[in-house]
Structure 1
Amino acid sequence: MKAFLRWFLPDTLVGRTVVVLLVGLLLSQVAGVILYSMSRMELVNRLSSEGAEHIAGVVKVFEATPEADRHRIIRAMERPGLRIGWDRNPLIATGDGEYSGLSVIQDELNKRLPGYEMHVSMGRLPPMPPSDMDGRLDHRMAHGPEPLPDFHFDHQPSSPPGEGFESPPAPGIGPGRRPHPPVVAVHLPDGGWLNFVADVPFEEPLLRPRFFGPLTGGLLVVMVLSVLAVRRAAKPLALLAAAAQRLGRDVNAPQMPLSGPREVRAAALAFNEMQTRLRRFVEDRTQMVAAISHDLRTPITRLKLRAEFVDDDEQRVKMLSDLDEMEAMISSTLAFARDDATREKRRPFDFALTLAELCVEFDAGYEGPESLTVTAGLSGFKRTFANLLDNARKYGCDVQVVLASDAGMVTVRVMDAGPGIPEAEMDRVFAPFYRVESSRNRDTGGTGLGLSVARSVIRAHGGDITLANRPEGGLCVTVVFPA
């Protein structure tokens, strides 16, 4: 079931809402059609039963009336919507029960007129003569029967003169477009036929072409309006997702606008409050680390002064070296905590030119375009790639830099021919103060913060840094970020 729903329902909120609305509208239309059909069928059956009762009464009265007075009986027994004719032949040769109303009439007549031959069908009457299509017939449709001149069936020239009729066109249906009206022909014991014709057909196919037009039009209108309405309603969700992405890269990103429905405004307000608390937390942490680092510099300076008075030259040198290392670690920690590059104002600059100049400075090969403009913090990027090139030169050799740009994303690969890094250490080297002891130690310099700061800067710009050992030997550092 879940697999079917995943296949049937679109992946977007807009698509799913539109599908639900369309399915609901379609089901309501189908339910309405079913209810209408049931009530219509009930009405048709009731009218058919009443009509059959009236026809049976006409037949019995007609039989009991002398032949000379039968034409008056016909006119007296007619009523709006029903025409009665007396002839030697039936209007229809056979009967059918295609429609439910006809079967009801047939059953009722069989009960009320047992032993009579009768035909019940949707008759195909010939076109009405123009002489009969005048205002008198329209008047009879509206006001009931009135004395009319006798006329005969043109399609039965062999019939002798008698009481006949032609049914007028149904309201709203002109000549040549008459529907097939219900026809009942009852064979009388004296050999004649009483023909009954309704002025309009009492039943038509329910699922006719004109039914699908409004349904299709309604579905299209609902679909268009639903797409517009749901897109507008879902737009704040897209803004919330974008704001979350910005917050993940930079806690100082612009806050969400407080607009839209009440629930959306409440969500935006909660998100902005969360961002404010995160920013305050980072600022408090930065101030605390900066204060600690600043306070530690004073005793370190005093220790350096005291170390100058140590008589043992070897011990004095070692003490000063340790103090210098402590001061370097404090400075690196302060830079990492403040992370000024992530708050640096971003502006467009020629990144290809800047990277090429760094390659010259660190004696690395460069391959890429001569010019490539990106929008970023210049000093943070220079410090990041200077750190990567410095690591490659210290712990490897034959450093090569490849710059490429595709679909709005910039890719930089810094490759060396050194020993590389064990696979188990790939993720750990980004942790603050972590160093791979086999290749990075205090004699060669470094506090283990370079890669941490570099990744922090790149991620603040929406990118990332990954490491991989090269098959031919050495390490490849891949930096990807949006232009």
Structure 2
Amino acid sequence: MWTKSTSDWREHRIAAYNAGITLFYAMQNGTAPPAGMEITPLPDADQVHATNGSFRQISGAPDAPRITIVPILPDTANQITGAPVTLAILSPSLTYSLADLPRRNGQTGAETLGAITRKLATFCSDPFVVARMGDADWVEIVGNTVWGCDVAPPDLRILAALLVVVATGILLTVVLNLHSSFLSFADQLRNRRRVGGPTRYEPYGPQELQEIITAVNSYLEIEREQLASRAAVLSGVSHDLGTPATRLRLRAALIQDGNLRRKFETDIDSMTGIIESVLTYTNVEMGAEEPRNLSLTSLLEAIVANYQDVGRPVTLRKGNDVIVRGGKSIFMSRQGYGVMSNDRDIVVVGRPVSLERAITNLIENALKYGRSATISLEADAQSATVIIDDEGSQSSATEIEDMLAPFQRGENTKTIDGHGLGLTIVATIAKLHGGKLSFEDTPAGVSARLDIQRS
């Protein structure tokens, strides 16, 4: 469209240029004017007005016109002296600029007049044109068939540019929507376990994204089947071991040697405890519990109260207030600050049974390896952190973090009951809630930090 319009206008301007050259020789030699153009002498009264420069007084001139006077010097090429031409262009809306007219040595008057008619054809204003060759009479030049608005080709370049802008906007929208679709699915997949996402996703968006979603659905199905099979096997093993374990307990009770009887009973308890721990870990991995809104403050208060009821040294400490930095403003040269009190009720989206198990495991570890456990809660708009500080623990934060892998136990835990899955279960629950489990050394012992996302 742009090329066709440009080509049509180029041909239109070339035709106007050629008509101007023919018009010059028609005025000079009295030959026929270009096709479609007329040269008409002005009446006597208008001759006087034109000679005096009162072009607005000429009959047929537009009301309140803008006047452009174009002097064309006589030809001097080949020692032939021609007559000058004076051109007066009366336009209802335009004053034509002469600065961009071509000028060169040896340029003829015909070429100059051709350049003027080409300029008239460039603008759509239907001018009123009078001219005079030397001292001859003034004539009116009617050339609307050459430079008039009706004969100008349609200029589709603006429409073409508009269509390009619209097409670019559509393309950018499609690209951004495509980008947004991939990011949206990635976010859903990233938070699937934390927020209890669907077991499968409906394919949507472009073909590439649909293929990815289909592949993800296949992977999730295989993963669920593997976890379900693992849990079924472990559950079956636990059930099948129940009967022989009971028989062993009954037979161990018949052993007269008390020391030997206690060793048998300890081995039986260890065996059943390992199976139950593995089952718990597998159930946590499967994320079977649905997340919901819960008060983390109330959950901690209930857990601490249960320990205090049986005389365990577990206390709940008030958390520190959170300093919140305000947003920037064009009316202030610095950012403001606010205080978020930790006395308020902290609500999170989580799995209450899993969170209770994780917090209880951390408290039990603090009591096993230290003398007491102090619980506190810190929260901001994005996350909440449950902090369990022990007192008197001989392990460092680095040593405890090395025991996050399954069945890993420290050197100082040989005489303490456990199976090496407690911290692994807590770390899995933390990841299930979009957070993590970490440890820090404190002057009194070690501090465990369970971070979870609030929404």
Same fold, judged at TM 0.5 (above): yes
Aligned-partner residue type, residue 316 of structure 2 = G
Question: CA offset at residue 469 of structure 1?
Answer: 2.2
- Deviation string 1:115-150 (CA, Å, 9 cap, x unpaired) is 3244487x44388xxxxxxxxxxxxxxxxxxxxxxx
What is the aligned partner in structure 1 of residue 315 from structure 2?
364
Q: Could you tell me which of 80, 90, 101 is aligned with 1:125?
A: 90
* 1:284 partnered with 2:229: yes
Q: Could you say what secondary structure the match of 1:465 adopts?
A: strand
Distance 1:195 1:475, change over 3 A: same
**One-letter code aligned to 2:9:** R
Partner of residue 18, structure 2: 49
Q: How does 1:328-339 map to 2 (within 5 A)?
A: 328-339=273-284
The correspondence for 1:394, drawn from 339, 346, 368, is: 368
Trace 1:322-471 onto structure 2 (pairs within 5 A).
322-339=267-284, 342-362=287-307, 363-367=314-318, 368-369=342-343, 371-419=345-393, 421-422=395-396, 424-438=398-412, 440-441=413-414, 443-470=415-442
- Superimposed CA distance per residue, residues 244-294 of structure 1 (whole angstroms, 9 cap, x where no aligned partner): 124454887342124556555444333322221111111112112223333
Residue 385 (structure 1) shift: 0.9
Q: What amino acid sits opposite 1:431 in the alignment?
A: A
**Letter paired with 1:192:** A
* 1:59-208 superposed matches below 5 A: 59-61=28-30, 77=33, 80-85=36-41, 92=69, 94-95=71-72, 115-119=81-85, 123-125=88-90, 186-187=133-134, 191-192=135-136, 197=141, 199=143, 202=147
Distance 2:5 2:248 in 1: 99
Aligned length in residues: 371
- Deviation, 1:232, is 5.6
Q: Distance in 2 between matches of 1:257 and 1:273?
A: 12
Separation in 2, partners of 1:286, 1:216: 64
Per the alignment, do residues 57 and 337 of structure 1 end up closer, same or farther by CA in structure 2, a change over 3 Å counting?
Answer: same
Aligned ranges 1:173-252 → 2 under 5 Å? 186-187=133-134, 191-192=135-136, 197=141, 199=143, 202=147, 236-249=181-194
Quick check: 249-258 or 377-386, which moved more?
A: 249-258
Deviation at residue 332 of structure 1 after TM alignment: 1.3
1:481 positional shift:
2.6
Distance, in Å, in 2 between the alignment partners of 1:43 and 1:216 is 21
3-state DSSP of counterpart to 2:440: strand
Q: Relative to structure 1, is the Cα distance of residues 93 and 337 closer, same or farther in structure 2, using a 3 angstrom cutoff?
A: closer
Counterpart residue identity of residue 332, structure 1:
S
Q: Can you list the C-alpha shifts for 1:208-237, whole angstroms capped at 9, x where unaligned?
A: xx9998688657755765566556655643
Report the identity percentage: 20
Unaligned runs of 5+ in 2: 56-68, 93-119, 150-154, 308-313, 319-341
Cα separation, 2, equivalents of 1:181 and 1:50? 17
Q: Which amino acid in structure 2 is aligned with residue 364 of structure 1?
A: T
Contact 1:182 1:202 in 2 (8 A): no
Partner of 2:107: none
Q: Residues 401 and 466 (structure 1 numbering): CA distance in 2 closer, same or farther, change over 3 Å? A: same
1:78, 1:84 within 8 Å by CA — same for their partners in 2?
Answer: no
Contact 1:384 1:457 in 2 (8 A): yes
Letter in 1 for 2:233: M
Q: TM-score, normalised by structure 1?
A: 0.62
Give the whole-Å Cα distance in 2 for the aligned partners of 1:301 and 1:332.
Answer: 19
Give SS of 1:364's match.
strand
Alpha-carbon offset, residue 436 of structure 1: 1.8
Q: Is this contact kept in 1: 2:294–2:347, CA < 8 A?
A: yes
- Note the residue ranges of structure 1 that are not aligned, 5 or more in a row: 1-28, 63-75, 97-105, 128-169, 205-209
**1:470/1:220 CA distance change after superposition, 3 Å:** farther
TM-score (norm 2): 0.65
The one-letter amino acid of 1:56's match is Y
Amino acid at match of 1:125: L
The 8 Å contact of residues 116 and 186 in structure 1, kept in 2 or not, is answered as no
Residues 453/57 of structure 1: CA separation in 2 closer, same or farther (3 Å cut): same
Change (3 A) 1:312 1:410: same
Q: CA deviation at 1:325?
A: 1.9
For the Cα contact (< 8 Å) 1:44–1:203, is it kept in 2?
Answer: no
